[in-house]
Amino acid sequence: MQLVLHAGAHFTEEDRLLRCLLGNSKGFSNHGVSVPSPGKYRTLLKETLAALNDAAPAPDARDVLFDLILDEENADRVILSHMFLFGAPRASVRSGMIYEAAPRRMAQLAALFAHDDIELCLAMRNPGTLLPAMFANAPQEDMNSFLRGADPFVIKWSDTLSAIREAAPSVNITVWCFEDMPLIWAEIIREMAGLQHGDDITGEFDLLSEIMSPEGMTRFQAYLASHPTMTEMQKRRVIAAFLDKFALDDEIEEELNAPGWTEADIDTMTDLYEEDMHHVARMPGVTFIAP
């Protein structure tokens, strides 16, 4: 079985991505791909991971789980999306690492699904905007307490991915940047479903339609219709051009809740994030989806 685990990150259009996957479930089934309802597996995975903290998986645990999740559906590839797989937003940063629990939990899942091909899919987001979003959902009253004294300038996604690779080397990792998602939305969906470039999907421009004006979307759709042979790369350049002219500022800008941080601090963190992404793109065992 090919098992695809979409684990966030939090505040990266994760719910919209799941809705798009579910909206394609009927078409995906023709390719042997199953997108079960999250109600079938989220509590089940949580309870399973809790049990694995105390003991190794039972010999039949894997088969029992798939029987419950698939409910007699036949599939070669299963996509599960669970935003709390590595923890709730308020507890997602520990010891200066985003998702400190991720390496242990992926090692547990790799042991549970030892004879399956596991792919972890994860959207990364600039810590300069992600940490404030997480902090807004936390009980702490200041950023330093939320980060438990960690230096925000040294929190890197590459550290999280390296730790996962070390703990679960058999797991394939596919990542992308939240900031790029309007340009690569369709490729993300196809990658998760194991489809080929250019395969039709429903909701290819779901995210784009939320951040572009109605006039812009109308013109964009007309442009696509008049240029039916565009490659994916050409299409991304067109999307970028239309966004430059028709993006809805209210949808792409957000007010950050980061007490004590200056605009210069966030600019520095953004520069560090971009440097880190160059490193992530070269990491062995990691597929990086970029525009």
Domain housing 124: 2-202+255-289
Whose CA is closest to 216, among 179, 243, 236, 186?
243
What domain count does the chain have? 1
Residue 251 has pLDDT above 80, yes or no: no
Residue 243 is assigned to a structural domain of this protein: no
Average pLDDT of the chain is 94
Note the pLDDT of residue 178: 97
Residue 207 lies in a domain: no
Question: What's the CATH code of the domain at 150?
Answer: 3.40.50
**Residue 102 covered by a domain:** yes
Q: Structure tokens of 173?
A: 């990792």
* Pairing, β 97-98 against β 93-94: antiparallel
Assigned domain for 152 exists: yes
Residue 232 belongs to a domain: no
Asked, for residue 209, whether it belongs to a domain, the answer is: no
Is residue 221 a part of any domain in this protein? Answer: no
* Residue 94: Cβ within 10 Å count: 14
The first and second tokens of residue 246, run together, are 């028709």
- For residue 59, give Cα distances in angstroms to 50, 56, 63, 114, 131: 17, 9, 9, 11, 40
pLDDT for 254 equals: 78
- What predicted TM-score, i.e. pTM, was given to this entire model? 0.93
pLDDT at 207: 92
Q: Which residues, 6+ apart, have CB-to-CB distance to 125 below 8 Å?
A: 9, 11, 12, 177, 178, 179
The DSSP letter of residue 102 is H
| Distances from the Cα of 172 to the Cα of 95, 223, 227, 291, angstroms | 25, 37, 36, 20
In a domain, 223, yes or no: no
